[in-house]
Structure 1
Amino acid sequence: MIGCLCIHGYTGGPYEVQPLVDYLEQRTNWMFEVPTLPGHGRKLDLKGRYYQEWIATAELAFLKLAKTCDVVYVIGFSMGGMIAAYLAGKYKVDRLVLLSAAGKYISVPQMYKDITDFVAEALKGTLADNDLFLHYQDKLKQTPFPSSIEFVKLIRFTRPFLKEVQVPVLIIQGQQDEMVPDKAAIYLEQEIPSTDKQLVFMKESKHLICYGKDKEELFETVMSFLTR
């Protein structure tokens, strides 16, 4: 039996990776675990939550799969990518997929471009129709500042485990990502010592890469990597 753990990102939920999960489920008989990290989901409740809880939740989901599956793949998106790398460095993981993984923090040029676009739309009176603006506006309202400190702590804690990853790894990064810069993907490729690694850039994808314009290419690339 093959198991597949999919881990969402900071201030997100399983919905961030669900399109990819649906694609894989329709084409395999694998067992899937897609946990909701404490305080996360469609409605955030992050106050009083610590990064250790987020890691522990993903780790327990992995161990659950490892008990019943001979082969376990781990897919991590954004912050979940760093948790996935931690698991691959600590346990026997057969393949690792990192999507927009937050090894580095913020893409300043892309964020500047997005803010400029927001200002232009505000002047035209169309900002209320911008899905990206509404998405991040809602997240900011629900995210306590101490939670962002926990996010930074998690990244710092998981980074050393990158050097322990020896399994085949696929790193995918959206080139229009407004949160994680291209150099984060290059950093991951350089830090991970595995001799079997692949770095792919999606030209049309922003941070929510499983919803990008080139998501079908993303899904096919992941499927090919996991089943080759």
Structure 2
Amino acid sequence: MIGCLCIHGFTGDPWEVEPVSNALSELEGWLVYTPLLPGHGEDLTKLKSASYEEWVLTVEVAIEELEKRCETLYVIGFSMGGMLASYIAARYPIHKLVLLNAAAHYLNPKQFLKDMFGAIRYHLTGSQEEDQLIELYEQKFRETPFAAVGQFLQLIQKTKPYASKVNVPTLIIQGELDGLVPLKSAYHLYDVIESERKELKVMKRSRHMICHGFETDKVIEEIKIFLISD
């Protein structure tokens, strides 16, 4: 059996990677698991008491459980989940790694400002570009406890060095229009990952929520091709 761990991002939940996890779950002989990181979900105030160590422990327990049931292990991480995925790939017997807008670096100021102008335009005119997910962004900014941001920064600092220890086949997919994670994050990960087989795909029309945008089908297809191929 093939086990696949999918890890969502900071302030998010399994919905962020749901199109990918659902597509892989439909494959015969696949066991796909997307745990909810502590403090995350609908009530973001719970993040105030959550720690980055709990997030790390959650994915460690998840991969250990999959390891008991599966002969082949894959891990997919989105945004902060990408850094957790890199950590897992460096420390556990993972066969392939997929990183989606992984947050080795974060906050693309130019695109972030463009997205914020889009939010202002939406409030003034009632119109917005498709795929902006403006209301979701605004809700997260309002509700995320400041203490949780500190835990996020600590997690990035602690997990970032593990990327250089990854030596399994790796697929990096980055949205060019991501307002939170800049392209340089993907290029950094591509440079430091030691694997002899690594690929970097830039999605020209994708923003941060890369699994819920214009190129969702393309993202899923790239992941399937990479994971299924020898």
Q: TM-score band (shorter)?
A: over 0.9
2:133 counterpart SS class: helix
1:108-123 correspondence runs (5 A): 108-123=109-124
Shift of 1:26: 1.7
Which residue of the partner structure matches residue 213 of structure 1?
214
Which residue of the partner structure matches residue 11 of structure 1?
11
Which residue of the partner structure matches residue 32 of structure 1?
32
Q: In structure 2, how many angstroms separate the alpha carbons of the residues matched to 1:22 and 1:192?
A: 28
**TM value normalised by structure 2:** 0.94
Which residue of the partner structure matches residue 176 of structure 1?
177
Q: In structure 2, how many angstroms separate the alpha carbons of the residues matched to 1:135 and 1:108?
A: 19
Q: In structure 1, how many angstroms separate the alpha carbons of the residues matched to 2:131 and 2:65?
A: 40
**TM value normalised by structure 1:** 0.95
Q: Letter of the aligned partner of 1:37 in structure 2?
A: L
Q: In structure 1, how many angstroms separate the alpha carbons of the residues matched to 2:210 and 2:32?
A: 20
Which residue of the partner structure matches residue 90 of structure 2?
89
1:149-228 correspondence runs (5 A): 149-228=150-229
Q: CA contact under 8 A between 2:131 and 2:213: conserved in structure 1?
A: no
Q: CA contact under 8 A between 2:7 and 2:77: conserved in structure 1?
A: yes
Q: In structure 2, how many angstroms separate the alpha carbons of the residues matched to 1:159 and 1:152?
A: 11
Q: In structure 2, how many angstroms separate the alpha carbons of the residues matched to 1:123 and 1:223?
A: 41
Unaligned runs of 5+ in 2: none
Which residue of the partner structure matches residue 136 of structure 2?
135
Which residue of the partner structure matches residue 54 of structure 1?
55
1:194 counterpart SS class: coil
2:48 counterpart SS class: coil
Change beyond 3 A, Cα 1:198–1:131: closer
Shift of 1:130: 9.2
Which residue of the partner structure matches residue 78 of structure 2?
77
How many residue pairs are counted as aligned between the two chains? 227
1:62 counterpart SS class: helix
Q: In structure 1, how many angstroms separate the alpha carbons of the residues matched to 2:218 and 2:131?
A: 25
Q: In structure 2, how many angstroms separate the alpha carbons of the residues matched to 1:149 and 1:184?
A: 19
Shift of 1:169: 0.2
Q: In structure 2, how many angstroms separate the alpha carbons of the residues matched to 1:207 and 1:131?
A: 9
2:97 counterpart SS class: strand
2:150 counterpart SS class: helix
Which residue of the partner structure matches residue 20 of structure 2?
20
Q: After superposing the two structures, state which structure 1 stretch, 217-226 or 138-147, moved more.
A: 138-147
Shift of 1:149: 0.6
Shift of 1:125: 4.9
Unaligned runs of 5+ in 1: none
Q: CA contact under 8 A between 2:132 and 2:207: conserved in structure 1?
A: no
Change beyond 3 A, Cα 1:92–1:120: same
Q: In structure 1, how many angstroms separate the alpha carbons of the residues matched to 2:155 and 2:223?
A: 25
1:27 counterpart SS class: coil
Q: After superposing the two structures, state which structure 1 stretch, 117-126 or 38-47, moved more.
A: 117-126
Shift of 1:27: 2.7
Shift of 1:68: 1.5
Shift of 1:29: 2.2
* Cα root mean square deviation, aligned: 1.5
